[in-house]
Amino acid sequence: MDHFNYQGGVLCAEDVPLTRIAAEVGTPVYVYSAATLRRHFGLFRQALDWTDHLVCFAVKANSNLAVLKLMGDLGAGMDVVSGGEYARARAAGVPGDRIVFSGVGKTVAEMRQALEGGIRQFNVESEPELHALSQLADSMGVTAPVAIRINPDVDAKTHEKIATGKSENKFGIPIARARQVYAEAASLPGISVVGVDMHIGSQLTDLEPFRQAYTKMAGLVRALRADGHAITRLDMGGGLGIPYRRDNSAPPLPIEYGQVIRDTVGDLGCEIEIEPGRNIVGNAGILLTSVIYVKEGEGRNFLIVDAAMNDLLRPAMYGAHHDIVPVREPLPGTEVQPFDVVGPVCETGDTFQKGTQLPALAAGDLVAFRSAGAYGAVMASEYNTRPLVPEVLVQDDHFAVIRARPTVEEILNRDTIPEWL
């Protein structure tokens, strides 16, 4: 459920008509609903209310400071994958002891930043990383709290580019080697082992891969405890999918996901961490765009909109689907026709959807890409020197620009022409 509905014939974000945002901010623009963010966070919290837990929002899904502040104020922790994301979480007011640091390529500078600024745990993904972290922490006279990311070798049954829990993926340590690596970790001076971490992929629409992975995790925890490790924390990762099509059967609910966690690891007495990103913010955002031209092609009509692949990369990168809806509500019985919805960028890949059924639209009309709150603005670029797409946050009947559209002048000023040219 989200808060983007028609009211009085106009698609609204909560109680703000998208026509108003388009008029005041221009298009393309991302629009997020605060009520939807709060609701989704609450569902995860509720799903784990049977145990000690921390819901760590996956910052990479949407890292706008206003979004992070909203989440942090609700009590969320943060899962960060770079020093930049760590800085964002801290700038949004999230204390270090609620931040977990994931990622396969943490640099020494990033690890130092987190150790100095405060960190809940590092999710360590390799032995070289473990040694580098130990050496650094030891040299600083501290110990680094660590969970080791285990690759459980399960098939997440999701898009190949976002599956992370098969043995051929670059993520984590193979489960068969886990005991050996934990023994090594325990012997290192700068490391304090606190838990076990997994993250098997994104946009999972079936609970079975989670159940398989977490069952393996439970077995591993028992073995590690028998080896003498005090495992007190389990990080279950993120990955619960969302409905990208309104007409489709919905993926499992957070409450059902929480039950799988309880069934598999609930008896171990560990504090539970989860790292949802997409499920919290995906359906809390839309990308609002204007029609530039309606172009009649041979055998097909193109809707050329002012958003492009640089603003919303998912369709070009993963063949992802976003429902596209007109902002003016079509009257019942309005005839629809197929359009190929495309952006202005000079790449054939800049096609959002083919054959989308839409009512007759004209230049200047507004359309919205639904479910664009996650992996949308964060993946945007300035390809074709298109200014980075702005972001707006709505709450009730008011909104604020939470990232302004840069001017072309600002973009040009970032470049430098050497004196010797």
Active-site positions read: 346
What is the bridge-based pairing of β-strands 391-395 and 351-359? unpaired
Q: d(Cα 236, Cα 376) in Å, to the nearest integer? A: 24
Using the rule CB under 6 A, is 372 a contact of ligand PLP?
Answer: no
Strand partners, 10: 7, 328
- Which one of the spans 25-33, 260-268, 276-284, 294-302 is the region binding ligand PLP (CB under 6 A)? 276-284
**151 makes contact with ligand PLP (CB under 6 A):** no
Helix spans in 141-207 (H)? 178-187
Q: Which of residues 219-238 bind ligand PLP (CB under 6 A)?
A: 237-238
Query: Which of the 8 DSSP states describes residue 194?
Result: E
> Which residue in 171, 175, 181, 180 sits closest to 212, CA to CA?
175
Q: Does 343 bind ligand PLP (CB under 6 A)?
A: no
Site for ligand PLP in 169-228 (CB under 6 A): 199, 202
Q: Which is nearer to ligand PLP, 165 or 190 (CB)?
A: 165
CB of 48 to ligand PLP, least distance (A): 15
CA quadruple 27, 242, 281, 216: dihedral sign: negative
Say which DSSP state 335 is in.
-
How far apart are CB 223 and ligand PLP at their closest, in Å?
23
Which residues in 63-190 belong to E strands, given as ranges?
77-80, 99-101, 121-124, 144-151, 173-174
Evaluate whether 121 touches 145 at the Cβ level (below 8 Å): yes
Q: Which of 279, 290, 353, 395 binds ligand PLP (CB under 6 A)?
A: 279
Structure-token pair, residue 9: 């014939």
* Total chain residues near ligand PLP (CB under 6 A): 16
Q: Which of 40, 60, 120, 370 binds ligand PLP (CB under 6 A)?
A: 60
Q: Which amino acid is at 178?
A: A
CB of 419 to ligand PLP, least distance (A): 43
Q: Which of 153, 275, 306, 311 binds ligand PLP (CB under 6 A)?
A: 275
Q: Which of 45, 278, 322, 370 binds ligand PLP (CB under 6 A)?
A: 278
User: Quick one: 259 or 301, whose CB is closer to ligand PLP?
Assistant: 259
CB of 282 to ligand PLP, least distance (A): 8
Q: Taking CB under 6 A as the criterion, which residues in 77-96 touch ligand PLP?
A: 79
Q: Where are the alpha helices (DSSP H) in 102-228?
A: 108-117, 127-140, 178-187, 208-226
Which of 102, 134, 151, 212 forms a contact with ligand PLP (CB under 6 A)? 102
Stretch binding ligand PLP (CB under 6 A), from 37-45, 180-188, 271-279, 397-405:
271-279
Contact 320, 243 (CB under 8 A): no
Encoded tokens for 118: 């405060």
**Which residue type sits at 197?**
D
State the residues that interact with ligand PLP by CB under 6 A: 58, 60-61, 79, 102, 199, 202, 237-239, 275-279, 374
